[in-house]
Amino acid sequence: MNTQWMIKTQGDPLGTVREFTKAVWEAFDLDRMVVPTNGHAKDTGPHLIDDPDGLDNLNPFAPLMPINAAKLIPDLLKGDSPPQAGAMLRPCEMRTLIEMTKQNGFDTGNLLTMSVDCLGTLPMEEYQWRVERKGSPKGLTQEALQFSRQGGIVRYRYRSACQVCISPQATMADINIGILGLPVRQYALITIQGQPLAEALNLSAMAEDEIDAEMLEGHQRVTSRLVQRSENTRERIANGMAELLPENVAALIDQLESCGDCSTCLDVCPLCDIHYPQRAEDGSFRESEVMRWLISCSGCGICEQSCPQHLPLTIIFNHVQAQLAEEFAYEAGRPS
């Protein structure tokens, strides 16, 4: 059973999330945490911090995703005595982590996960250009938050993966922070997975107000609309690219083989850190291996933004994954 509360943001949603995350750190006595940061042009990746003061740089609303942070989690939990760790992940990163644990079974008992509704992310060049115009990452963050109640700014600005995102809603983490469809300068929605976790956090003392049914309805309405919009976008793009899309896994393998020795899409994918698709003795990809990779895809789009040939990999992979999902009745990113 989930526990939900509204917390007042007092006109500063980013500051509120930072303070809330600090409270989480203290409540669960964390040793370290992987968090998204402000996103300066020369310092763009998620950071591993070992002091709650490092959360002063936390920024889950910066519209930038240079890597899939789930890639950092296995190393975070290594060792005979793994630390009490935390991770704040975007919804697509959270789906990736779930698939990684299914494939590898590594122990996440010492990991506390947090997630925030995603407002969408920009290509790196676009992000840097807009930061220069705004004068700082803070200005771009404020712009993104300004439109959270409507579901974000104009979506054509986003990375293509964000335009066709399966779902931008934070639902799968231990602690989820909702902002879509809400007056975020006044309130944010906190959802805790399971009563024991809520009691350990003492959320009732931390939160300002109980859940507002009207606001919850607005949150669900906007997130549902975004999911439907993404589905419509996927269909429109797929129809426009119909002649270029592979018919099945075998046809996709032919496309991958045409890339020669390039394996960038595999190298940047967190799933491939857990299980790299193996090749047959003749050097060709095994169909079962590629199927295993694709059916677990979270749609984060890191493969596409890293592709040196600028191939529309998000749509290509999604097209084949949809066939596999229907054939095997499987939805990536859902706990077993």
What string of H, E and C letters represents the secondary structure of the chain? CEEEEEEECCCCHHHHHHHHHHHHHHHCCCCEEEECECCECCECCCEEECCHHHHHHECCCCCCCCCCHHHHHHHHCCCCCCCCEEEEECHHHHHHHHHHHHHHCCCCCCEEEEEECCCCCCCHHHHHHHHHHHCCHHHHHHHHHHCHHHCCCCHHHCCHHHHCCCCCCCCCCCEEEECCCCCCCCEEEEEEECHHHHHHHCHHHHCCEECCHHHHHHHHHHHHHHHHHHHHHHHHHHHHCCCCCCCCHHHHHHHHHCCCCCCHHHHCCHHHHHCCCCECCCCCECHHHHHHHHHCCCCCCHHHHHCCCCCCHHHHHHHHHHHHHHHHCCCCCCCC
Question: How far is Cα 168 from Cα 79, in angstroms, rounded to an integer?
Answer: 33
Closest CA to 258 of 295, 211, 307: 307
Residue 247 region, left (φ>0) first, then alpha (ψ -120 to 50), else beta? Answer: alpha
| Look-up of token digits 């799933």 | 271
Residue 40 region, left (φ>0) first, then alpha (ψ -120 to 50), else beta? Answer: beta
Which is it for strands 187-193 and 47-49: parallel, antiparallel or unpaired?
unpaired
Question: How far is Cα 108 from Cα 113, in angstroms, rounded to an integer?
Answer: 10
Question: How far is Cα 32 from Cα 15, in angstroms, rounded to an integer?
Answer: 20
Distance between first and last Cα of the chain: 17
Task: Provide the pLDDT for residue 22.
Answer: 95
Contact between 28 and 200 under an 8 Å Cβ cutoff? The reply is yes
Report residue 127 as tokens.
């992000």
Q: Which residues of 289-309 are buried (b: 16+ CB within 10 A; e: fewer)?
A: bbbbbbbbbbbbbbbbbebee
Contact between 266 and 277 under an 8 Å Cβ cutoff? The reply is yes
Which is it for strands 111-116 and 85-89: parallel, antiparallel or unpaired?
parallel
Question: How far is Cα 29 from Cα 52, in angstroms, rounded to an integer?
Answer: 10
Closest CA to 61 of 12, 2, 113: 12
What are the pLDDT tens digits along the chain (336 aa)?
688 889 999 999 999 999 999 999 999 999 999 999 876 555 667 889 999 999 999 999 999 999 999 999 998 888 777 789 999 999 999 999 999 999 877 788 899 999 999 999 999 888 888 888 888 888 888 888 998 998 877 677 899 999 999 999 999 999 999 999 999 999 999 999 887 888 888 776 666 666 788 889 999 999 999 999 999 999 999 899 888 899 899 999 998 888 888 899 999 999 999 999 988 888 888 999 999 999 999 999 999 999 999 999 999 999 999 999 888 889 888 887
Q: At what angle do helices 313-328 and 213-240 cross, to 10 degrees?
A: 110
Q: What is the pTM of this model?
A: 0.93
DSSP-assigned beta bridge partners for residue 189 = 6, 178
CB-based contacts of 275: which residues, under 8 Å, 6+ apart?
A: 103, 104, 292, 293
